[in-house]
A and B are shown apart, each in its own frame.
Chain A
Amino acid sequence: MFPPGAILTWAPAFSTALPLARERWRDHGGLLVVPRREDAARALGAAVADGSAALGREAVTFAGLRGRVALAAGVREPEPPSAVGVRLALRAVLDGADLSAFGASAEAPGFLAAAERAVAELRAARVAPARVEAAAATPVARAVAAIHAAAWDAVPMASDALWAAADAARAVARFPPVTVTGFDDLVPGQWALLHTLAQATRVEVVMPFDPDRPAFHARRARQERWAAEAGSAGREGAPAGAGYAGLAARLFDAVPPAPDPPPVRLVGAAGTRGMLRAALDEALAAVDCGAPMGRVALAVPRLAEVRDDLERLLDDWGVPARLSSRVRVLEAPLTLALTHLLRLGELDPAAPGALDHLLGWLRTPYSGADPAEVDRFEADARRGGVATRGPLLARWEGVAVAPARRLVAAAERGPRAQLAAMVDAGWEALRRAGDAAGLPRRADLRDRAALTALAGLAAAVDDAGGAAADDDAPPRPRGPVPPGTVGDLVADLTFLAREEPPGGLEIHDLASLRGRDYDVVVIAGLDGDGYPPGPAADPLLADLRAPLADVLPRRAPSTSEGRLRFVHAVDAARAGLVLVRRTVDDEGREVAPSPYWLEACRVAGRDPGALDLAAGARGEVPDAPDAARSERDALRTMALDGLVAPGLLAEAAARRSRAVGVAADAFRYRERLRVTELESYLRCPYGWFRDSVLAPAELEELIDPRFEGTVAHAVLHAVYEGMAAAAVGPCTEATLDAYRGALEAELPAVSARLRPAGAGPAFDALQERLRRHLRALLGREAALGSRLVPTHFERGLESATLAPGAVVTGTVDRLDVAPVGGAALVVDYKRTGADFNPAAEDVVRRLQLPVYGALAREALGTEAAGGLYMGMLSARITGAVRDDVPGAPDARRVPREVWERITAEALDAARQAVDGIRAGRLEPPEPDACSHWCRCEDLWR
C-alpha cells in the first residue's frame, strides 16, 4: 500500500536521483515519467538491456501520462490549442483591453508574444483572476490582471490540457504506480496532476534538491510548498563524494576544492565558430576513445544562436547529432518567400522596390518560374531598364502578381482568412517545389513545419511533452516580417525543429542537459560575461512575482537558476568533462573566461589560465592533416602547409595563379579600334583588355552614372541639333536664352522617352539635376564666347590610314565649324569633364580631341581647329583652340604650333597603341597610371 499523497524525494543531485528513480520503477512497475521521449527510450532500453522483457513497465513523458489518465478516466483527451489559435484569441482580448500601462511597448510587434508568455504562466499556475487582481499593486500588474481575467475563458492555452488531466484524474480509481524523474522543477499543472493521481496510486517524484546549497535557492519556495502538500517528503541518497558529481557538489559553495578531483580538460579556441569546432572535436575525440556517440553530450550557450553554424559544421564533418531547438516560423524559406509575395502585393508592381520583392519570390523554387527566364528578366529589367519594365512585369502576372494580390485581398476577410490564404499558397508552392523523389531536406522540413504551425496544426509538429522552449536566451532581432496584422501574429511564432538520428551526438543547451547523464560532457562557451544565461527578465509579471511567490517562481538575473544549471551540467558527466571557451572573439578581441569557468577551475584545483589545448591558431584550419575531421579540413591543412596531393588540392593549387599575356595575334581580329579604347590601352593595357575587349555588361542599378550620362548626351544632342536646324548659331551671350529655352523643351521630351518604368522620384531628381547642370553648362559656353557654329552631331569617323594595320574609328559628339575658313572644333561631352592642359606632359594620353580632329580632316576635309571637353555635370570646359581660327574663344586659345605638336604626339601615341594591340602586348599596370575606376585588378593577379 502507498501513503496518500505523492512522495517527494529530494536527492542531492541528478546523479543520485536518476538511479534512485529507476530502482523505484523497477520495484513498483508502472509508469516512469521523464521529460522527453528520448529519456523514455533510454530508460526502457536500460531496463531490457539484459535480454529480458519489461512487462507492466512503461516510460512516458507528461504528454503520455495525460493520455493514460484520460483513458483510465474514460474521457477524451483535450486537443492542445494551436499556437496560431492562441494568438488570434489573445489578439482579440488585447484589442479590447486597456493597454495604456504599457506605453508605446503595447504597439510593438513583440508585445503579443510577451503577453502570451505572461498569461500562459499565470494560467499554467491556475492562479484565479481574482487572486491576481488582488495581488496587483502597480498599473502594469493591474493591466496584466485584467488581461488574464479576460483571457481566462476566451484564450485556450497549452497548459489547459494538463489541468484537464488533473481534473480527470479525480475520477480515476485504478492506475499503475507512477515514478517521476529527470526534472529539477515541475510546472504547477504537473504537480497538480501527480498530486491528484496519488489518491489512486503510488506516485513518487524523485528530484535533485538540497535546501542547504545556495545553488538551489531558486527552487526553495516551490519545493517547500510541495513538501507541505506531499504525502511524505524527505532527503535520500548520500552526498556525492568523488567524480564529477563530487565536483558539482562543491560548485558555488564556500568549501575548499575537491581533494581528489577528476580530470577536467580545459580548451581555449579563437572565435565563436572556432570554439564550436574545438568543442565538437573534443566530443569526437571522446568517441574515438570508445565512448558511444550517443553517450557524449555537447552543451552550447544558446542553441538558437549557434544552430546554423553548428548544423553546417555537423554536415561538413558528417557527424550525426541530435539537436532540437525552436525556430521562428518566419525563418523557413517558404514563409520568407511568402513574405516577399505579400509585400509585392502591397506595392504597385511598377513601383520602386517592387522589383526586389518580385525577384525575391521568383528566385525561390516555390514560384514555379523557370530560373533561366528569371535571370534573363532580371538582366533586362536592371540593365536596359529603359521604358521596358512595365511590359516585362506583365510576364509574371500569373506566377507572382495575381497570387500576390490574392494574398493581400484575403486580408479584407480578417487575419484568419489571410493566414489561410497564405497556407493554401504555401502548400501549393511546396508541392511545386517538392523534390518528392528524395528524402526531405532540412529546408523541406522547416517549410512544412512552418506551414503546419501557420495552419494552426501546431500540435502536429510539436510534442507538448517534448522540449520546452529555451526561454532563457534573450530574444534576437527578427528577420523580415509580413506586413499588417498577420505580421504581428506570426512575428514570434516558432516551431520545434529537431534532428534525431539514433545514436548521434547529443547537442544541448544547459537547460536541456538537465536530468541526463553522459559518459562525456563538453561544455562550450564558458567565456564573457553571461554564461550560462540566467532566466530572461519578465517585465509583465515582475511586480506580481513577490505577492504570488508560492505559485510563480522567481525569474531574475540574480536568482541562482544559471548556477543550478551549471551544477547539473557538471554533475551529468560520468567519465569525462571538457570545458571550452573562446580566448578571443570573432574580431580577434580578447575574451575573458566566464565566472563559471573560474569557479569550475577552483573546485577542480585547476589553474584557470593553464589550457590543455589552445585551438584555432590557424583560424579554422586544423594543425595537422591527421587531426582533421573531414577530408576538406585535411586538404585545407595541407594547402596551408604548402602540400599538394592529387585531386582537388592539386587542381586548386594549379589555379592559384593564372597565365597572363596573350598570343601575339590574339587581338588581330579586331580590325577596327576606337580612339577611346586606344586611350584606355595607353593608360592601362589590362584595364583596356577588361573594359574594351571583354566589355562585360554589368547588372547595374536602374539609375547610375552611366545612365545619367546617356540621358545628358541625348538631351544635348537634341538641343544642339534643334538649334542648328533653326540656324540659331553658336551658344553665346546673345543666344543663351534660346539655348536654355531649347533645353527646357528638350529635357522633358528626351526624359519621357528614356524614363524607365517605375523609376520613381529618383528619375525626377535626375532630370532636375540635368536641368540645372546643363543650364550651367550652356551659361559657361556662352560666357566662353566661341563663335564656331555647331554643325555635325554624333558623327561617326574613321580612318584606315591613320595607323597602319587597323581602322581607327570614333564618334565625335559635335563638330563646331569656324565661320571663316571652315576649321572644325572637336567637342566631346564628358560626364564630369576631363583635364586637358596643353602644357602638361600627359596630354599625350588624351587622344580624343586631336585624333578626332585628324579623323575629321580625313573624312570631312575640315582643318582641325582644336578640341573642347564639356563636363555635362560640372559645367567645366577644358581643351585648346588654335588662336588663328576665326571665332575661337579667348579663354582656351593656344598657338597653332602647339596644337599641331599635340596632334602629332597624339597620333604617334595612337599608332603605338595600335601597334601594341596588334602585337598582343599586355604590359603590367602601373599603380599610379590607372584611373580610380580602372578594374584591371580583376585580371591582373
Chain B
Amino acid sequence: MLALVPLRGPVAVSPPTAEQERALAAAASGRATAIAAGAGAGKTTLLVEAVWRDLERDGVLLDGVLVAAYNRAAAAHLTARLQARFADPDDGRGTTRPGLDLSAAWVGTFHALAARIVRENPFLAGVDPEFGELDETEAAALREQALDDAMAATLADPGFLDLVTDATSLQGVRDATAHVHERLRAAGHERPRIVVPEAPGPTDGQRAELEAAVREAAAHPDARDDHREQLLLATELLLTGEPGPKPPWLSRNCKAAFLPLAERANAAAAALYGAVLDLEARRQLLGFAANIEAFGERYAELKRERGALDFEDLLLAARRVLRGRHPYRFRRVYVDEFQDANALQAEIVDLLDAERTVVVGDGCQAIYGFRHADVEHFMRRAGSPPEVTLRDNHRSQEPLLRALNALLGAALRDEPAFAPLRPAAGDRPGPVLAAEPLEVIDVVSEDGGKATREQEAEAVADLVGELGARGYAWPQIAVLFRSLTEVEPYRAALAARGIPAHLVAGRGFFAHDQVADTLALLALVENPYDEAALVRVLASPYVSASDDDLVALRRRAGDSDRGWPSEGALAPAARALDATRPALEAAEALRPLLRDRGLPGLVEAAAAARGYDLAVLGLPDGARRHANLRKLVRMAADFAAVRGPDLRGFLAMLGRMAEAGDQDPGEATVVDPDLDAVRLATVHAVKGHEYPAVVLADASHGLPGTYPAVLTDRDGAASIRVARVGGDPVYALGYGDRRAAARAADEAEERRITYVAATRAERHLAVVGRSSARGGTAFTTVCEALVTPPLERRVAAPAGPRTRPRVEPPPATEAAAPRAHRPPEPDPVAGRRLSFTALDALATCARRFHLEHERGLRGGPDAVVPAAAAAGGAPSAWGGAAAGDVVHAALAAHDWAGPAPAPGWAAAAERAAGLPPSPADRERAERMVAALLSSDLATRIRGGRRRLAEEPFAIAVEGAVLSGAIDLIVDEGGGRALVADWKTHALAPGDSAAAVADRYRLQQALYGLAALRAGWEEVTLAWAVLEDLPGSPARIVGAEDAAALEAEVAAALAPLRLEARPPAAATPQPFCTGCPGLEAMCPVALSRA
C-alpha cells in the first residue's frame, strides 16, 4: 500500500528505467541539475542509483556525498534502500559492499544535516558548544514564556500599547508576533526585524478639502439627521486627527441635489482618514516591531540559558558556518523534494558549493507554503519548461492516469509546473478497474438548500462502502482531507455503516474530553480553589457526580441572597460531601508526585487516578482516547525538560496553545500498519504514499478566511490590519495587497494539494464536495474543469435534528478480575557482594546500610555526633582509624622471620601517611606492635609453615558473595591454621579484651568459615586486642562447626530480606557518625534539627 515501506517486507531496489537513466546522465554531466519529477516517477530509485554510482563508480568517499531528504522517515528509507543496494550480491548490477555502514553518511533531513554541521563547528556558528536541540513542544514552552515576558515589557511602547489596546484580542497580537518572527527566520533573518513603511501623514490640502466639504454639506437644506451624524464624525476626525472606527460616510441614498456634496465629503473624508490611519498604523507597526524584537531577544535569552537551539536556529547557525571558511568539500549534494525548501534551505544548498548538486522536486507538489516553503527556489533552478524531467508515472493505472491528466490539466492550467504524466505502471493486480476510474461527486441537499457536512459525510461513507463491495480491502482505501478539523461526521458516518476507519493524525487535541478532564484534575492538583476545574472533574468520569449531586454541592456552599454565590466556597463544600469529596482527595493524593515523579509522572498518574484511564478505554474509540492521554504525558515531559516541573506554567502554556488555534498539537495516533481499516488522513500526511483507491473528501473546503494582523514579505517589509474600536479592522500600509498576494498563493497551494491528493491513487479516485456550500474553491475549479468524466450529483436526505450528542458507553461484559503476569521477585540476598565492613554495617544499623551500601550515599562533613569523639581512651591527634591503619600496615609489611622493626619506625609511617605529628600516637603504635611481636601469639605465628598477611578472601553464603581481607593467616601444618585479627582499640576502664573480641563474633564466624572452606580442618581464631594481649581469647573451630558458622553469617544477612530498613536509633548515637542519615533520611536527622 505504501510506497516507502521496507518495514514490512524485504527492501527491494529496482534498476533504473530508461527515463531515469537519461536523468542520471544529465545529472552526471552538469554542476547543478534540477530534475522535475512528477508524481510516482520513482525519485527514490533515482537517488539511490545516483549515490551508488558515485560511491562505486566514481570513487567518491562516503563522507563526500550529502543527501537531504524531506523528513526523517524519508531519510531513513533512503538509507535503508542504499544499504540494500550495496548489500545485494545477486542483482547483477555491479560490485557490492555488504556491511557498508551508512550510519556515518550525510543522509538526513535538512535539520539533521544542519545539526551535524553546527555540532562539528560550534565556534564558527557562534553557538553553545554543548547545545541541545529543542523539539516542538520544548520550543513552544520557551516561546510562550518569551511571549509573556516580551508583551509585558513592550507594553511600555506607546505604539504597541495602541496596537494592543485597539485590538479586541491579545491572543491575536501574540499569534502575529510569533508568526512573523518565524516567517522571517525561515527566510533567513538572523534577528528578525520588520521594516515599517513611512507614512507622510495628512496634508493641509486634505484637511482643507474636508473642512470645506463638511461646511458645504452641513449648510445644505437636504442634509438629513443621519448625514449630520456622519458630518459630526468628520468634524471629530478633523479636530482630533484620530481615525475613528471607520471613515465618515454620507449615505448616497439622498436627494439628487445633495448627492454631489455627499460624494465630495465622502472622498475628502476617505483621503484624510486614510492618511491619519496610515500614521496610526505606522505607530502601531513600530510598536509591533519593538515587540518582535523584544520577543526575539527574550526567546534567544531563554534558549541561551538552556543551551538550546530550535529548528530555525540550526539552519541559521549552519548557514553561518557555511558562509565562512568551512571544512566541508562535498563532491555530491542531492536534495529531494526541493519544491518544499524555504529561502534559508535553498541558500544552504548553494553555500555547500558541491562539485555536483542535484535537486529533485515537483512544482505541482509544493504544499508547505504554510511552513514558509517557497516553490520559486525550485522553479528557478528547474527552468521553464524544465530541462530534465521524469514524467513516467509508475503508480496509477493507465485509464485512471488519463482521466487524471485531463482533470488536473484543467484544474492546474495556471500552474507553470504542471505537465501531463505518462503511464508506466503496467498492469498491476487488484480489483477490477471501474469504467470511470475517476469520479467527481457534488453532494446536494434534497431540500435544495446548502448541503451540510453531515450530508457529505454520508455520501463519502456510501462511496467507501461501494468501493469495498467492488473488492477493495479497507486498508486499500484512503479518505483524504485538506485538514482534519471537521473529520468527526465522516468517522461517524463510516462507523454507522460498520466500516472500520483509522484516523492517521487528527486535530483538535485540546477539544477532547479526556485531555480537558485530565488538565482539570491537574489544575485541582495545583490549587483546589480552582472551582472551574473542580466542576469539570466532578462531571467527568473521575467522579461522575450527577446533576443532583452538583446542586447539592451548590447548596452546601451556599447561595447568597443577592443571587451571586460567594467565590471560593465550592471547594470547601466539596470536601464536605461524599459525592464530591473524591475529586479533592484524588488531587491531594497526586500532589506529592510532582516532586517524586516529576511533571510527566504526575500527569501520568493523574490520567490513571480513580480508574479514569479505564473509564476512557471503555468508551467508543477507547484506544485513541487513551493515546491522547499518553500524548499529554509526552508533552509534559517535553515541557519539563526546559521549564522544570512547573505545573502552573504547563497548564498555562496548554491553555494558550488551545486558544491560539494554530498550535494544536494534533490528536495522538494509535498505529497499526496491519489494521484492517480505511485510512483517514490529511493530504500532507500521505505525501510519498500511494493507495489503490483514494477518496478526496471535503473538497469544497474553503481557505482560511483570516490572516495575521501583520503581514510581511520575505524581507520583513510589513503592513498591518488596524483594529478599530467599534468598527471593522481597516487595512493600512499596503495590507490589502499583501493579503491578496497571500491569498493567491494559498489558492495556488490549494490546487497543488488537490494534485498531490489525486496522484496518490493507483486505480480509483473520487473527489467529493459540496458546490452549494462554498464557491471559489479548488472543488469548484475541478467541477468547472470537468469535461470527462461527467460531474455526478448525489442528493442527500436533509440532516436530522441537532442536539449536542453525548458519548454513549457501549455495554460491558462481566469477567473475572485479572491477574497480572508479574516477574518473580529476585532473592534480595543472592547475587550480592558484601564486604565484612558492609556486613557489620548491616548488623549495626540496617538503615545506614541501605543508605551507604544500597544507595551509594556518604555522610557529609556535618555528619558527626560530637559524643563519639570522646568515647574510649585518650583523644588521638591522628584521629579516627589512623592508628589502626598505621599498625595494620606495619604488621602487614612485617617479616615474621626477621627482626622487629627498629624503634622510631612510626615516624616514617606518620610522614608517609600524611598524618599530623603526634608523639603520643607514635608511641602508642610502636608500643602495640612491640607488644604483639614479643607475645606468645607471635611465637606461635613464627612457628607456622606459611604466613599470609592481609589475605583477601571471598566465600558464598546463601548466594551472596562475602569478602574481606584477613590480617594474618598462618598455615600451621596438619590441616591446622591460625587466623589472627589485630584490634587496636583503646580499652576504656571496665572494658576488657574478651569483651572487645566478643563484639567481633560475626567477623570470627566469617573468617573462620572462609578458612575452613579454603581447606583447613581446624582453625584457631585469635582476635588480638593489642592493648591486652594476655587477656585476648582464642577460639578454635573445626569442620563440624562450619554449619553453625554459616548459620551465624546467614543470620546477619537476614535484614536484607526485610521490606524496610529500620534505623537503629531515634536520636544521635556514636555509631551514627559519618552516616548520611544524620543529615536527612533518618528520624535522627529530625531530632537533630
The CA-CA distance from A109 to B528 in the complex, in Å, is 39
B541 near A656 (CB under 8 angstroms)? yes
The answer to the question of B38 belonging to the interface, with a C-beta cut-off of 8 Å to chain A, is no
The CA-CA distance from A461 to B541 in the complex, in Å, is 45
The answer to the question of A895 belonging to the interface, with a C-beta cut-off of 8 Å to chain B, is no
A590 near B856 (CB under 8 angstroms)? no
Closest chain A CB from B547 CB (angstroms)? 5
The answer to the question of A821 belonging to the interface, with a C-beta cut-off of 8 Å to chain B, is no
The CA-CA distance from A180 to B821 in the complex, in Å, is 41
A53 near B953 (CB under 8 angstroms)? yes
Number of residues from B at the complex interface, CB < 8 A: 239
A649 near B614 (CB under 8 angstroms)? yes
B166 near A772 (CB under 8 angstroms)? yes
Q: Determine which of A318, A353, A376, A876 lies in contact with B726 in the assembled complex, contact meaning CB atoms within 8 Å.
A: A876
Determine the chain A residues whose CB is within 8 A of the CB of B913 once the complex forms. 74-76
B669 near A587 (CB under 8 angstroms)? yes
B33-89 at interface with A (beta carbon < 8 Å): 62-63, 71-73, 75-77, 79-80, 83-84, 87
B304 near A595 (CB under 8 angstroms)? no
A628-649 at interface with B (beta carbon < 8 Å): 628-640, 642-649
The CA-CA distance from A71 to B536 in the complex, in Å, is 68
Closest chain A CB from B625 CB (angstroms)? 10
Q: A657-B808, A698-B531, A809-B563 are in contact. Are A595 and B164 (CB under 8 A)?
A: no
B933-970 at interface with A (beta carbon < 8 Å): 948, 951-956, 961, 963, 969
A330-378 at interface with B (beta carbon < 8 Å): 333, 336, 339, 352-353, 356, 359-360, 363-365, 371, 375-376, 378
The answer to the question of B121 belonging to the interface, with a C-beta cut-off of 8 Å to chain A, is yes
The answer to the question of A802 belonging to the interface, with a C-beta cut-off of 8 Å to chain B, is no
A55 near B951 (CB under 8 angstroms)? yes
The answer to the question of B596 belonging to the interface, with a C-beta cut-off of 8 Å to chain A, is yes
A487 near B305 (CB under 8 angstroms)? yes
The number of inter-chain residue pairs (CB within 8 angstroms) is 707
Give me 7 A-to-B residue pairs in the complex whose CB atoms sit less than 8 angstroms apart, sorted by A's number. Answer: A45-B961, A51-B1013, A56-B952, A108-B127, A477-B642, A653-B618, A927-B802
Q: A599-B101, A694-B550 are in contact. Are A639 and B622 (CB under 8 A)?
A: yes
The answer to the question of A395 belonging to the interface, with a C-beta cut-off of 8 Å to chain B, is no
B245 near A590 (CB under 8 angstroms)? no
The CA-CA distance from A430 to B1088 in the complex, in Å, is 13
The answer to the question of B381 belonging to the interface, with a C-beta cut-off of 8 Å to chain A, is no
The answer to the question of B271 belonging to the interface, with a C-beta cut-off of 8 Å to chain A, is no
Determine the chain B residues whose CB is within 8 A of the CB of A648 once the complex forms. 611, 614
Interface readout for A23-64 with B: 1 if CB under 8 Å, 0 if not?
000000000000001001100110111011111111000000
Q: Which 6 A-B pairs have the closest CB atoms?
A: A110-B130, A503-B826, A588-B669, A652-B611, A592-B76, A769-B165
The answer to the question of B119 belonging to the interface, with a C-beta cut-off of 8 Å to chain A, is yes
Determine the chain B residues whose CB is within 8 A of the CB of A75 once the complex forms. 912-913
A308 near B860 (CB under 8 angstroms)? no
The CA-CA distance from A256 to B120 in the complex, in Å, is 36
B530 near A312 (CB under 8 angstroms)? no
A539 near B1079 (CB under 8 angstroms)? no
Q: A502-B832, A644-B812 are in contact. Are A273 and B630 (CB under 8 A)?
A: yes
A657 near B807 (CB under 8 angstroms)? yes
Q: A586-B634, A666-B548 are in contact. Are A598 and B80 (CB under 8 A)?
A: yes
Determine the chain B residues whose CB is within 8 A of the CB of A871 once the complex forms. 726
The CA-CA distance from A783 to B119 in the complex, in Å, is 66
The answer to the question of B255 belonging to the interface, with a C-beta cut-off of 8 Å to chain A, is no
B308 near A477 (CB under 8 angstroms)? yes
The answer to the question of B1044 belonging to the interface, with a C-beta cut-off of 8 Å to chain A, is no
Determine the chain A residues whose CB is within 8 A of the CB of B804 once the complex forms. 924-927, 936-937, 940
A628 near B530 (CB under 8 angstroms)? no
B1039-1069 at interface with A (beta carbon < 8 Å): 1060-1061
The answer to the question of B233 belonging to the interface, with a C-beta cut-off of 8 Å to chain A, is yes
The CA-CA distance from A456 to B779 in the complex, in Å, is 69
Interface readout for B807-844 with A: 1 if CB under 8 Å, 0 if not?
11111111111111111111111111100000000000
The answer to the question of A663 belonging to the interface, with a C-beta cut-off of 8 Å to chain B, is yes
A909-941 at interface with B (beta carbon < 8 Å): 922, 924-928, 935-941
The answer to the question of A542 belonging to the interface, with a C-beta cut-off of 8 Å to chain B, is yes
The answer to the question of A319 belonging to the interface, with a C-beta cut-off of 8 Å to chain B, is yes
Q: A251-B99, A652-B614, A768-B161 are in contact. Are A356 and B726 (CB under 8 A)?
A: no
B6 near A434 (CB under 8 angstroms)? no
Closest chain B CB from A579 CB (angstroms)? 14
The answer to the question of A660 belonging to the interface, with a C-beta cut-off of 8 Å to chain B, is yes
The CA-CA distance from A252 to B582 in the complex, in Å, is 59
CB nearest neighbor in A for B553:
A694
B1086 near A312 (CB under 8 angstroms)? no
B623-645 at interface with A (beta carbon < 8 Å): 623-624, 626-627, 630-631, 634, 637, 640-645
The CA-CA distance from A875 to B10 in the complex, in Å, is 69
Q: Assuming A48-B961, A445-B855, A478-B308, what are 20 further A-B pairs, CB within 8 angstroms?
A: A44-B961, A44-B963, A58-B952, A103-B123, A333-B595, A439-B850, A476-B641, A478-B305, A528-B72, A558-B104, A590-B4, A591-B76, A592-B7, A609-B8, A634-B821, A638-B818, A642-B810, A649-B817, A660-B806, A938-B536
Number of residues from A at the complex interface, CB < 8 A: 254
The answer to the question of A185 belonging to the interface, with a C-beta cut-off of 8 Å to chain B, is no
Interface readout for B209-240 with A: 1 if CB under 8 Å, 0 if not?
00000000000000001100100110010000
The answer to the question of A501 belonging to the interface, with a C-beta cut-off of 8 Å to chain B, is yes
CB nearest neighbor in B for A38:
B833
The answer to the question of A843 belonging to the interface, with a C-beta cut-off of 8 Å to chain B, is no
The answer to the question of B30 belonging to the interface, with a C-beta cut-off of 8 Å to chain A, is no
The CA-CA distance from A760 to B148 in the complex, in Å, is 13
The stretch from A88-96, A235-243, A669-677 touching chain B is A669-677
Q: Determine which of B5, B622, B644 lies in contact with A479 in the assembled complex, contact meaning CB atoms within 8 Å.
A: B644
Closest chain B CB from A736 CB (angstroms)? 9
The answer to the question of B673 belonging to the interface, with a C-beta cut-off of 8 Å to chain A, is yes
The stretch from B565-573, B765-773, B991-999, B1028-1036 touching chain A is B565-573
Closest chain B CB from A687 CB (angstroms)? 11
The answer to the question of A618 belonging to the interface, with a C-beta cut-off of 8 Å to chain B, is yes
The CA-CA distance from A262 to B1031 in the complex, in Å, is 66
Closest chain A CB from B545 CB (angstroms)? 7
A270 near B618 (CB under 8 angstroms)? no
The answer to the question of A491 belonging to the interface, with a C-beta cut-off of 8 Å to chain B, is yes
A645 near B818 (CB under 8 angstroms)? yes
The CA-CA distance from A596 to B551 in the complex, in Å, is 62
The winner among B97, B830, B855 for most chain A CB atoms within 10 A is: B855
The answer to the question of A132 belonging to the interface, with a C-beta cut-off of 8 Å to chain B, is no
The answer to the question of B981 belonging to the interface, with a C-beta cut-off of 8 Å to chain A, is no
CB nearest neighbor in A for B915:
A76
B529 near A376 (CB under 8 angstroms)? yes
A583 near B1010 (CB under 8 angstroms)? no
A763-781 at interface with B (beta carbon < 8 Å): 764-765, 768-769, 772-773, 776-777, 779-780
Determine the chain A residues whose CB is within 8 A of the CB of B138 once the complex forms. 477
B617 near A530 (CB under 8 angstroms)? no
A625 near B818 (CB under 8 angstroms)? yes
Determine the chain B residues whose CB is within 8 A of the CB of A58 once the complex forms. 952, 954, 963
A267-284 at interface with B (beta carbon < 8 Å): 268, 270-271, 273, 284
Determine the chain A residues whose CB is within 8 A of the CB of B565 once the complex forms. 695
The answer to the question of B535 belonging to the interface, with a C-beta cut-off of 8 Å to chain A, is yes
B1014 near A53 (CB under 8 angstroms)? yes
Determine the chain B residues whose CB is within 8 A of the CB of A320 once the complex forms. 825-826
Q: Determine which of A140, A478, A873 lies in contact with B725 in the assembled complex, contact meaning CB atoms within 8 Å.
A: A873
The CA-CA distance from A626 to B8 in the complex, in Å, is 27
The CA-CA distance from A616 to B618 in the complex, in Å, is 18
CB nearest neighbor in A for B655:
A701
Interface readout for B1073-1089 with A: 1 if CB under 8 Å, 0 if not?
00011011111111011
The CA-CA distance from A364 to B809 in the complex, in Å, is 40
Q: A293-B823, A588-B505, A924-B803 are in contact. Are A53 and B613 (CB under 8 A)?
A: no
The answer to the question of B789 belonging to the interface, with a C-beta cut-off of 8 Å to chain A, is no
The CA-CA distance from A448 to B852 in the complex, in Å, is 12
B956 near A48 (CB under 8 angstroms)? yes
A698 near B129 (CB under 8 angstroms)? no
